[in-house]
Structure 1
Amino acid sequence: MRLSEEITECIEMDKDLFSELSERIWGFAELKYHEFKSSDLLCKALADEGFAVERGLAGLKTSFVGSYGSGKPVIAVLGEFDALAGLSQKKGSTVREPIIPNGSGHGCGHNLLGVGALAAAFAVKKYIERHHLLGTVRYYGCPAEENGSGKTFMVRAGCFNDVDAAFTWHPGTVNGAMHLSSTASIMANFSFKGKSSHASASPELGRSALDAVELMNVGVNYLREHIPDRARVHYAITDAGGFSPNVVQSRAEEMYLTRAEKPDQVKEIFERVIRIAEGAALMTETQMTYKIVGATHNLIPNTTLHQTLTQFMNELKYPDYNEQDLKFISEIYQTLDLSEKKAALAQLSSEQIRKADKKPIADWIDPCPEQERFMQPSTDVSDVSWNVPTAQCMTATWALGTPFHTWQAVSQGTQRYALNAALFAGKALACTAVKVMTDGVLRERAKQEFTKRLNGVRYECLIPEDTNPPQD
């Protein structure tokens, strides 16, 4: 029996379990650092399968690792399970229908991500068992990917120090290896403290923290013209100081997310943001403090692992979908506006566009590009990739063009074709992981490429040592 056939058999035998787990996590829709039910559910599934489970890694209450086997090589499979605020949505609906107004929802498909990765870990465990292999497979439960930098904290704590290769995937609208670089990022809270006063009777006695926030934003707007093209600076006001216009606001707070192509660049831009905040405080005679709450490096792809992963994806092929699936996919596609459809089609070949016109789901496998592409977003998988050879793939769990972080992604999160695509990812990851475990030459090639790509640059975590994950 071929490796891909054996792995497929291992995963298909537990398909009902994976479907139940994914749907329940979709229903929990827990936000970063609060994924207690999702974490408990996955830990129980790991323990029931015979994994030794350790919880609370790196000070993250909802993190965990499930281990099976012994000795080297050590293979890591990364799972996520956090949701997004404001994206509550009824499953299987083709119109915007929140379950809970302003509630949370899995707009990035992490219910599928976590369970697809779990399927891979289970399959590798069964393969080790059947073939009496020496080696260890670990499932890393990684919380707070959405603006929480969970993996960065885990890397800083040394959780991946003895790992030989790491694998993960992400829901999306295409199928293929994620042979990408990305932006590095730093996220920080900026707090201003002023002095309250009556805004009409004695405005001269007040010192407005809200003025400081607004002046900081003006200053950063001018900064944006003078940073590299691929750099970004985003912000959100998290506390405007109250709701009374006749009171000079004595407090105000906002969050800034700075991105750039390399860690040194993002540090330099962030330092300039700090100086702008200091200037705003000086102008308003307020006090400013800031705290870095999350950060990520840029992604280091691995061609050796991605080429192997692509080979297995082609061997496995994208799973079948039925007419009912296609009807729902087409209805979701019609909810997208013209610009979203154009953006999706612009990434396709002319042949793929013809296919998509009839069936708006990517059922083909993209080739692994010779040179990595650049993606503007950031991911905490990057920090793992700076410490161990790392491979990722994406599979089409959503209709073509479905934007990330939208109600359409949430609505598709429990569909049959979405789960099949998640298990397709799990099969491809498991095949590649087993290949790496059993092929020392391939493993060494991946490590040599990893060392060459770093080119002597050492990893330095962008989150300060005295910054710990939130405990409440």
Structure 2
Amino acid sequence: MAAAFALKNHMEKNGQSGTIRYYGCPGEEGGSGKTFMARAGLFDDVDFSLCWHPMDYNSIMPVSTLANVQVYFRFKGKSAHAAAAPHLGRSALDAVELMNIGANYLRGHIVQDARLHYAITNSGGFSPNVVQADAEVLYLIRAPHASQVQPIYKRVCDIARGAALMTGTEVEIVFDKACSNLMPSPVLEQTMYRVFERLGVPEFTAEELAYAAEIRTTLDKQERAGIVVKYPGLRDKDMADMLQPYTRTEPLYGSTDVGDVSWITPTVQCTTACFLVGTQAHTWQWVASGATSIGHKGMLHAAKVMAATAAELLEQPELVAKAQADLRARLDDQPFVCPIPPEIQPGANQVRAQ
């Protein structure tokens, strides 16, 4: 939002015309909000898209990401007294456990960069003396391309059906959400990198650096060793004080609903230092720094980078045209197909897969 206001002021000051859109993006982490937005056509007439992600380093993101599907497997069995009448029960929890075992065996027979994650979201209760009649497991299935995710998803569904057969239970398969892999835009990346170089990186006070040093004492030996590989030049730093070199890297083994946007319009992301060097995503260390002035500084610096990049692209429309042509060439006539079926609505979780 700060970037949108800054760009608006710049355009008014310089007499430029154009339309700026700022999209608030709900459910971006587990809900694929932008995928639903892409399906609804919100990016179809957009010339280019800029976004940002807080990280523990400053960079442009010249990476692809993993496409994914998230799906619930809800097993229904029959309760019974686990000691007096176990033969009358049909355990939904047994079905979840057998499904997870089957999925673990599947891991050795899918593409190298695929990932299977799960969380048991309903274990059937807290009493071991009752055969659990209801249990649920949530799966996140990832692969480098949506076309690779779909056959893995179908195999996982077959494993769930097999687990239901083995336990005499029923399974409901509920498609939750999905997102596409990210399509990089070298033209926009190079433009944003030049802007980032010119603006420099966030600067932190002695007090903020001392706070970062204290939190980073909680990193273990393995986490500290990873810093040497992942962050050239930051080995002995508590906060990133440099812009990472712009080089094409291996796929990022995570997922983002920005991927769906990038199939429709040229898209670029930057990252700014909002967290302490070497700390891991989804940890208390990220929360501990992201909610402070450290995170706020990183956020506002990202706004500057985004606004200045957009201003440069407005002044050089040939770069936008080049980025659009490059995207068409990369897609090689592949149309964007939303990985979320049209009948799936955000947060509904009630549509049974076929």
TM range (shorter): over 0.9
Instruction: Report the equivalent of 1:157.
Output: 40
Gaps of 5+ in 2: 350-354
Instruction: Report the equivalent of 1:138.
Output: 21
For 1:123-142, what per-residue CA distance to the aligned partner results, in whole angstroms no more than 9, with x for missing partners? Answer: 11111222222211111000
> Which structure's relative contact order is higher, taking Cα pairs within 8 Å and 6+ residues apart?
2
In the alignment, which of 329, 346, 352 is matched to residue 469 of structure 1?
346
* Cα pair 1:187 1:294 within 8 Å, conserved: yes
* Cα pair 1:301 1:372 within 8 Å, conserved: no
Q: Give matches, 1:3-402, under 5 Å.
A: 118-349=1-232, 352-353=233-234, 356-357=235-236, 359-369=237-247, 371-402=248-279
SS at match of 1:309: helix
For 1:410-442, what per-residue CA distance to the aligned partner results, in whole angstroms no more than 9, with x for missing partners? Answer: 111233333222211111111111222232211
SS at match of 1:442: helix
Instruction: Report the equivalent of 2:308.
Output: 431
The alpha carbon displacement at 1:471 in A equals 6.3
- Counterparts of 1:253 and 1:322 in 2: how far apart (Å)? 48
- Counterparts of 1:416 and 1:247 in 2: how far apart (Å)? 51
SS at match of 2:97: helix
* Cα pair 2:31 2:347 within 8 Å, conserved: no
Aligned AA for 1:363?
D
- Counterparts of 1:305 and 1:237 in 2: how far apart (Å)? 41
For 1:176-219, what per-residue CA distance to the aligned partner results, in whole angstroms no more than 9, with x for missing partners? Answer: 10111011100000011112222222222222111111111111
- Counterparts of 2:209 and 2:19 in 1: how far apart (Å)? 40
For 1:204-256, what per-residue CA distance to the aligned partner results, in whole angstroms no more than 9, with x for missing partners? Answer: 22221111111111111110111112111011111111222222221111101
For 1:97-144, what per-residue CA distance to the aligned partner results, in whole angstroms no more than 9, with x for missing partners? Answer: xxxxxxxxxxxxxxxxxxxxx111111111122222221111100011
- Counterparts of 2:348 and 2:92 in 1: how far apart (Å)? 27
Aligned AA for 1:361?
M
The alpha carbon displacement at 1:306 in A equals 0.4
- Counterparts of 1:269 and 1:414 in 2: how far apart (Å)? 38
SS at match of 2:291: coil
Aligned AA for 1:331?
E
- Counterparts of 1:389 and 1:372 in 2: how far apart (Å)? 19
Aligned AA for 2:21?
R
SS at match of 1:141: coil
SS at match of 2:136: strand
* Cα pair 1:310 1:367 within 8 Å, conserved: no
- Counterparts of 1:453 and 1:368 in 2: how far apart (Å)? 20
Gaps of 5+ in 1: 1-117
- Counterparts of 1:362 and 1:454 in 2: how far apart (Å)? 35
**Deviant stretches of 4+, over 6 Å:** none
The alpha carbon displacement at 1:280 in A equals 0.7
Question: Cα–Cα, structure 1 residues 331 and 208, in superposed 2: closer, same or farther, change >3 Å?
Answer: same
- Counterparts of 2:277 and 2:82 in 1: how far apart (Å)? 53
Question: Cα–Cα, structure 1 residues 439 and 287, in superposed 2: closer, same or farther, change >3 Å?
Answer: same
- Counterparts of 2:131 and 2:291 in 1: how far apart (Å)? 49
CA RMSD of aligned residues (A): 1.5
- Counterparts of 1:346 and 1:200 in 2: how far apart (Å)? 54
Aligned AA for 1:442?
L
- Counterparts of 1:127 and 1:216 in 2: how far apart (Å)? 56
- Counterparts of 2:291 and 2:170 in 1: how far apart (Å)? 48
- Counterparts of 2:216 and 2:135 in 1: how far apart (Å)? 41
Question: Cα–Cα, structure 1 residues 144 and 306, in superposed 2: closer, same or farther, change >3 Å?
Answer: same
SS at match of 2:195: helix
The alpha carbon displacement at 1:167 in A equals 0.6
SS at match of 1:238: strand
For 1:260-300, what per-residue CA distance to the aligned partner results, in whole angstroms no more than 9, with x for missing partners? Answer: 11111111111100000111111112111111111111111
Tell me the percent identity. Answer: 46
User: How many residue pairs end up in the alignment?
Assistant: 349
- Counterparts of 1:180 and 1:412 in 2: how far apart (Å)? 25
SS at match of 2:23: strand
Farther-moved stretch of structure 1 (428-437 vs 319-328): 319-328
* Cα pair 1:306 1:391 within 8 Å, conserved: yes
TM-score, normalising length from structure 2? Answer: 0.95
* Cα pair 1:199 1:245 within 8 Å, conserved: yes
2:295 paired with 1:418 = yes
